Structure 1
């Protein structure tokens, strides 16, 4: 049996017991043609339900094994034995009352041999049913343990990938800051202030594997503000987050690598610079986030020097978290503004 004490748990078990009791009644009618199905049905349900209730409810009052929800040691045998014995006696009394007999069958109507036969018959069935519930509960417990272990392993891998990604972003930013110090010390100072604020805001997020999309947009806006100091008028930004998607859960550091890639490979090689647009939208049960730049275009960006470390990390983290249900695609923009479109598609999750 499982550790679940919810009404749904008891209703599910009760329904299964009723079905088994009905099957028992049908078998008894076949083996004893002198009794009607209704009579056998009443006794089977009375004895079976009382026995089940004593065992299934009673186990919650006894020390249980957390792996199965079943009592430990000798109690594992004593509880079913108690439930079957008392269930036969009380169930038979209830059956007598429901069928209109004027005396209690457990004391007068049945011989000792019949009573022992009933105990053996229903005891065997009760033991089989109890073992079935025990095995089902144990299997459910270990399935939950496996699922938890896999989830924790995936989160650990996500944290590892994130820890590799954050220094990559920091090194690139520091390299840009170093180049700006000699060219424009005032802007370098302003950029350093924004970098400190950005790192402070990401400190708490670095301790988790996912957060609301609104938080991810805020971090992306901070990063773009940092880059705008270095690029000046060459960088324009546009962030669009619909209110109904603000609470959607996404991996941390999902957008910043895409924005960084768009700036480094799309806008920086473009003399006039360009615009970065980040837009979130709902597509059925999926969340789609588009990062669009109006830079040199996909072909030119692909031939430019530099690694695609950030994009590969995003793909790995999406795959670790969602498997084949999440994708990252790059495509050339088809309108007159040109540039590149990076599109992330993942299952829509809300807290």
Structure 2
């Protein structure tokens, strides 16, 4: 029998708060009695009833939705627990203060005491029942949202891979007619790249080192077509190699840099992919952030960015949407004009290394 002691402590404090309120109500009905007597009665009855019910429920099969015993036990347990709590708590208080037994009380006084106790017991039982069901519903909502986010990420990834394949095949078609030898080399590299892609884990995240390895294969594939017009550098600090990132996050950024930055430039250019960690910021207190930049020396940003669509900013839009799905407003991708005339695509999102809790 596994008991959540933090939850028990929270329930205890809530019951004490209820008992204080009940004592005040009881005193309002019987102002001629000392408040401390009403308080002692309330605490004795309430705490004993809570102990019997909250610990007793672990001896019965419980409903997954509420954590409350299912069937007849769910009705009998609070009823028996409250009756025993009333009798036991009353006896304890009588013994403490030296009062006569409860059955010697005035009939009116006994009815008032019993009535307040019954109403209070019903209110407290209903409170804990609804709290348990509400917590279960919130957990189910979180689970559904997580599954929906994962499904959306899978959909985005399946959209990106055909997009990359389409562009590569289009480039391969051009090379077949102009440079068959380079087309053969490109085809071999594409086969190796697709084999690695298909055998990779289909999780929503993988180590940043895997992302850089995959990106290196893609850049080598593009270098076959562009030749000396494409040069690249990958900078990944050792401390960030295991940082979890969404698969295929960097490839659309590099593809965008090649298509809109380097290809329109006659002499081509250089692409630098780097990763670094920033300190804590004000947006998410206590959270470090991973910054990944793809910087090119191409023609720079146009006055008006092309709309998302086939052959345009599709990959960039998908990468932004994937970060938004995983991190909300904490995941961003910005395009920045560099001082040398090229463009930098900067992805920023919370960093959580495997060693962190």
TM-score (norm 2): 0.83
Counterpart CA distance in 1 for 2:66 and 2:84 is 24
Quick check: 1:20 aligned with 2:23?
Answer: no
Counterpart CA distance in 1 for 2:117 and 2:276 is 60
> Equivalent of 1:298, from 297, 301, 304?
301
Q: Is the 1:85–1:119 Cα contact (8 Å) retained in structure 2?
A: no
Q: Is the 1:84–1:119 Cα contact (8 Å) retained in structure 2?
A: no
What residue is the counterpart of 2:149 in the other structure? Answer: 154
Q: 1:236 and 1:95, CA in 2 relative to 1: closer, same or farther beyond 3 A?
A: farther
Q: Is the 1:93–1:104 Cα contact (8 Å) retained in structure 2?
A: no
Quick check: 1:289 aligned with 2:284?
Answer: no
- The aligned runs of 1:1-351 (5 Å cut-off) are 5-33=3-31, 35-96=33-94, 99=96, 101=98, 105=101, 118-181=113-176, 183-205=178-200, 207-283=202-278, 284=280, 285=287, 286-299=289-302, 306-334=311-339, 336=340, 338-350=341-353
Residue 30 of structure 1: CA displacement?
4.1
Aligned residues: 342
Q: Deviations over 1:107-137 (max 9, x none)?
A: x765787666544422221111110111122
Q: 1:313 and 1:95, CA in 2 relative to 1: closer, same or farther beyond 3 A?
A: same
Counterpart CA distance in 1 for 2:217 and 2:94 is 78
Q: Secondary structure at the match of 2:125?
A: helix
Counterpart CA distance in 1 for 2:218 and 2:327 is 26
Q: Deviations over 1:282-305 (max 9, x none)?
A: 3433332211111122229958x9
Residue 342 of structure 1: CA displacement?
1.0
Q: Secondary structure at the match of 2:70?
A: coil
Q: Is the 1:288–1:344 Cα contact (8 Å) retained in structure 2?
A: yes
Q: Deviations over 1:199-231 (max 9, x none)?
A: 232225462333333322222122122223333
User: What 5-or-longer segments of structure 2 have no aligned partner?
Assistant: 281-286
Counterpart CA distance in 1 for 2:13 and 2:73 is 26
Q: Is the 1:205–1:211 Cα contact (8 Å) retained in structure 2?
A: no
Q: Which piece of structure 1 moves more, 109-118 or 32-41?
A: 109-118
Q: 1:312 and 1:319, CA in 2 relative to 1: closer, same or farther beyond 3 A?
A: same
Counterpart CA distance in 1 for 2:209 and 2:247 is 11
Residue 138 of structure 1: CA displacement?
1.4
Two-structure CA RMSD over aligned residues (Å)? 3.0
User: What 5-or-longer segments of structure 1 have no aligned partner?
Assistant: none
